[in-house]
């Protein structure tokens, strides 16, 4: 009898210890999640937030990879991400124009899904990631609408399995979508303050920010950055002859025609007055000259019609190019600013040389 009671006590003590161990483990996991959630809430913008989800999360949770897919039905999110210079996550950050893709990931009502991963799923959700054994799929739902999906990959086939609890991940998913939507809304408001209200292209504030980002990127990639400085010819004469409304229409026309000749990666801004400026990442001088000539030709071949009046338009353009040093080195903010100003000044001088050469032409820095 005593032996039976002693055995029962041992069994009960073992059960209690298991419960205590589980409570302690849950507390440890909860604290681990809280640490990451605090980082999310402290993120200063969309770029910082994506860095946490696509880089820091892998280290924090010991993941093989992670990816974020976001719904972008009208293409506006792509424009925002491009304007912020976010392009170094490659296929780990994907934008989808239709919710149909997400319906293939989540069968039925979208909820956190823990599963083993086959080769096809790994290729689709974690391109380039080797040896993915299991994954946690977190739907990003805002106001009862699926707006994206976060995917966490583990090399261990047994880490994310359907029998595991998903409570912490569900809470994390809710927090992430809130942070994403808030940061996107904030960045859009910030971007509105960086657009020229007349032409719809970037303003001087936008240009200064883009210049610093693109110079830093060119330096890190040991590449080139070209700059076009474009000025409308005889613009004062147009204003004096046809009126300021005609001048505004000319600027809108120029912004549109210039933009049509540029590539997706090029950045067009109104620098001031009748001056436009273009940053061309990864572009050497020879290619920049060809694009500048294409812009000049596109503007000159089509006159602006205003009522019964026809207003001929031409532009003069200057080209300058920055090249990273052979020996890689990190540029300080002051050096980025100095290099950016010098690049613009050289393009500006080249543009004035084009004016002196008779206008309606392209000149290159000397």
**Is residue 274 annotated as part of the catalytic site, yes or no?**
yes
The Cα 51–Cα 54 span in angstroms is 5
Question: Which of 2, 31, 190, 274 is flagged as catalytic?
Answer: 274
Token digits of residue 303 = 């006159």
| Tens digit of each residue's pLDDT (9 = 90 or more) over 232-285 | 999 999 999 999 999 999 999 999 999 999 988 899 999 999 999 999 999 999
Residues with Cβ < 8 Å from 179, sequence gap 6 or more?
Answer: 40, 41, 43, 49
First to last CA, the chain: 103
| Alpha-helix runs per DSSP H in the chain | 2-41, 46-51, 57-60, 76-83, 100-105, 119-125, 167-192, 204-220, 235-242, 244-260, 285-300, 333-356
Q: Which two tokens stand for residue 26?
A: 């849950």
**The two structure tokens encoding residue 266:** 């090029």
* Arithmetic mean of pLDDT, 297-309: 89
pLDDT digits (tens, 9 = 90+) for 33-67: 889 999 999 898 999 999 999 999 999 999 999 99
HSE-up (13 A, CA, CB side) for residue 18? 6
Q: Is the pLDDT of residue 23 over 60?
A: no
Structural domains in the chain? Answer: 43-192 (3.30.450.40), 204-364 (3.30.70.270)
- pLDDT band at 306; cut points 50, 70, 90: confident
pLDDT value, residue 25 = 61
Question: Average pLDDT over the chain, rounded to whole?
Answer: 89
pTM for this predicted structure: 0.66
Handedness of CA 156, 161, 165, 166 (dihedral sign): positive
- pLDDT of 187 strictly over 70: yes
């Amino acid at each position: 009898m005593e032996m039976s009671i002693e055995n029962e006590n041992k069994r009960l003590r073992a059960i209690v210890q298991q419960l205590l161990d589980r409570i302690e483990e849950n507390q440890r996991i909860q604290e681990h999640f809280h640490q990451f959630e605090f980082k999310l809430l402290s993120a200063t913008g969309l770029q910082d937030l994506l860095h946490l989800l696509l880089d820091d999360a892998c280290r924090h949770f010991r993941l093989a990879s992670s990816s974020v897919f976001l719904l972008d039905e009208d293409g506006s999110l792509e424009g925002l991400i491009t304007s912020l210079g976010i392009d170094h996550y490659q296929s780990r950050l994907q934008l989808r124009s239709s919710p149909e893709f997400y319906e293939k990931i989540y069968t039925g009502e979208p909820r956190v899904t823990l599963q083993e991963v086959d080769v096809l799923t790994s290729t689709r959700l974690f391109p380039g990631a080797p040896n993915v054994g299991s994954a946690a799929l977190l739907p990003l739902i805002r106001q009862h609408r699926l707006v994206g999906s976060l995917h966490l990959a583990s090399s261990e086939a047994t880490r994310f399995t359907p029998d595991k609890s998903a409570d912490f991940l569900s809470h994390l998913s809710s927090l992430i979508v809130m942070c994403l939507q808030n940061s996107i809304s904030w960045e859009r408001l910030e971007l509105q303050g960086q657009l020229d209200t007349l032409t719809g292209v970037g303003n001087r504030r936008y240009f200064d920010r883009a210049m610093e980002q693109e110079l830093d990127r060119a330096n890190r990639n040991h590449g080139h950055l070209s700059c076009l400085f474009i000025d409308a010819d005889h613009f004062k004469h147009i204003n004096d002859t046809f009126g300021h409304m005609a001048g505004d229409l000319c600027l809108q026309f120029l912004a549109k025609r210039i933009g049509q000749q540029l590539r997706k990666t090029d950045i067009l801004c109104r620098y001031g007055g009748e001056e436009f400026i273009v940053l061309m990442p990864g572009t050497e001088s020879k290619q920049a000259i060809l694009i500048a000539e294409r812009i000049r030709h596109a503007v000159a071949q089509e006159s602006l019609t205003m009522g019964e009046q026809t207003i001929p338009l031409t532009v003069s353009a200057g080209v300058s190019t920055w090249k990273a040093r052979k020996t890689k080195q990190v540029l300080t903010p002051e050096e980025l600013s100095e290099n950016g100003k010098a690049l613009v000044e050289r393009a500006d001088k080249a543009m004035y040389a084009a004016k002196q050469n008779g206008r309606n032409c392209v000149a290159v820095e000397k």
